[in-house]
Amino acid sequence: MYLDNDVILKEATVSGSETTVSRDQAVLASCLEALKREEAGDYDSARMLLAQYWPGVGEKPNVEGLGDEATAELLLRSGALSGKIGRARQLKGAQEIAKDLISHSSRLYEAAGNIEKNTEAQLELAICYWREGALDEARDTLNLSVQSNPNLHSDQRLKSLVTLGIFESSASRYREALRIYGEVAPLLKDSKNHLLRGSFHNQYALAYKNIGAAENRTDYTDRAFIEFAAAGYHFEQAAHTRYLALVENNLGFLFLSVNKPLEAHQHLNRARALFGKVRDKGMIAQVDETRARAFLAQGLYSQAETTVRAAVRAMEQGDEQSVLAETLITFGVALCRLERPERAYEQLKRAISVANQAGDDDRAGLAALTIVENLARYVQPLSLRRHYEDAERLLQKSQSPDTEPRLGKCARLVLAMQETRPIEPELTIKGEAAAAQAESLTTQVAKLRAEAGWSGCSLEDEVLRYEGELIHRALESVGGSVTRAARLLGITHQGLAFILNGRHKSLLAVRTPVRHRRKSIFRSE
């Protein structure tokens, strides 16, 4: 996302009037020019510049006969573009492909002792993890990268710190993000890198906006407007259409937070037009999710539902599971406003599942909390309490200032429902009624098992045992690599990690330790 480079081209060998350019030099020159287009947000043009060496997303670049420097740079550029194009076009599996290419590049730079380029590669790798919703992996990757780069004024190190603040904000750790930005600000004072400075001001504004809205701090909200204006200036200087569109979307969100939906729509219209200009389907979907929130604020529930439903369909095609979970939450809220509780419950439970698979505790907790806030009349008291307990557990590390008040309000609501409302089938969502009926059959099932001589049998336990055996065999066959085992099992890396940390903790000893695994993915294949 935050791009720069210091590729040094080898001089061509001049013989008489002829210039002989090696393939390595040609590759490095193409990568340098592609980087310039990439920095300008023109990903398609950047991809075309590398077409003779790299067919495109989903393909490996041709590195045969190249030296380590040219190989590392071609892998890095093709990996970074795979991630960016994959996100823009919502291509399934693109982030995993990008991670493989970037990891190989990082291994080569690490072996060559090129700290600056390795920092750049680690940054791109962390962003791929973040797009997938693997916030812990993304955060750990950047922290290790920053620690290994001692140059405090390095552009790549500063980009990593700014991006680390983005990750903290994604986890609703806004105070931590502000702390990071406060440390970065003086180091950026003399920087001539407009992309870096624009990204910094954009993220600084978001942190101020989120805390200002939660704590009703108008001074923080005013500061957010100032930071967004600074971000827009620097992105204009960099002529970066995508990032200008991003600022417009964020300004729309900010106006929405101060109850000015009409102004919000004006900025969202500009954001959508700019993202359409660069054919960024993923960001158009995110703008539509913001627009749906504006419609909700205006009481235009049908428009909100139609808009966010289209955004969900677009997000389903890609790898950004955390963003999909957030969009599903908005979809669920819109359906609640339209008095469609069964459909709303379905989408909110799906949001929990998607967020859990991505390892995003914060969004999973918010989805569970949204169920309690909006569907208390329809969900049976026991299930309502379970959703609350899940939300409380998942949000325990959240630094969002409004989390505690929401949890407190929901706790009182759950308690009131338990004390005053018996189970009322006519008000119960069909899925919940079915669950209640299933519970009533427990005694009959136990009796049948005893009669058949299966008194000690449990289908759930047997399925769990078989699942554990499959995962154990998959991990052993790939030397403990969770990423490769996940491929064998046909699930995502984050999905397998969630299963291991939840249902099969005994298998954690079989997998490669997280930190070591991060290094192991740098191996050549």
Domain locations along the chain: 1-132, 151-239, 462-520
> Which residues are registered as beta bridge partners of 13?
20
422 against 150, higher pLDDT: 150
**R_g (Cα) of the chain, nearest Å:** 25
426 residue type, one letter: E
Number of H helices, E strands in the chain: 25, 2
CA dihedral over 258, 260, 265, 270, signed as positive or negative: negative
Check residue 217 and give its pLDDT: 87
Cα–Cα distance for residue pair 62/75, rounded to 1 Å: 9
**395 DSSP assignment:** T
Give the model's pLDDT for residue 405.
Answer: 87
Q: How far apart are CA 237 and CA 213, in angstroms?
A: 30
Question: Whole-angstrom Cα distance, residue 30 to residue 48?
Answer: 10
pLDDT tens-place string over residues 128-140: 998 888 888 899 9
Which 3-state string (H, E, C) describes 116-172?
HHHHHHHHHHHHHHHHHCCHHHHHHHHHHHHHCCCCCCCHHHHHHHHHHHHHHHHCC
∠ Cα 30 93 282 (to 5°): 80
Higher pLDDT, 18 or 305: 305
Task: Give the count of beta carbons closer than 10 Å to the beta carbon of residue 425.
Answer: 11
DSSP state of 427: G
- The Cα 203–Cα 201 span in angstroms is 5
pLDDT band at 440 (very low <50, low <70, confident <90, very high): very low
d(CA 95, CA 106): 16
Calpha distance 356→498 (Å, rounded) = 7
Residues 6+ positions from 361 with CB-CB distance below 8 Å? 355, 394, 395, 397
Is the full-model pTM beyond 0.75?
Answer: no
Work out the number of other CB atoms within 10 angstroms of the CB of residue 487.
16
Average pLDDT over residues 317-345: 93
At residue 524, does pLDDT exceed 50? no
Third-level CATH fold of 462-520: Arc Repressor Mutant, subunit A (1.10.10)
What does the pLDDT read at residue 76? Answer: 96
Q: Residue type at 303?
A: Q
* Stretch (H or E) spanning 15: strand 13-15
pLDDT digits (tens, 9 = 90+) for 222-246: 999 999 999 999 999 988 898 999 9
- At 22-44, the pLDDT tens digits run 889 999 999 999 998 988 788 98
What mean pLDDT do residues 384-393 have? 92
Q: pLDDT tens-digit profile of 197-221? A: 998 999 899 889 888 877 788 999 9
Say if residue 139 is exposed, middle or buried (CB neighbours under 10 Å; 0-12, 13-18, 19+).
buried
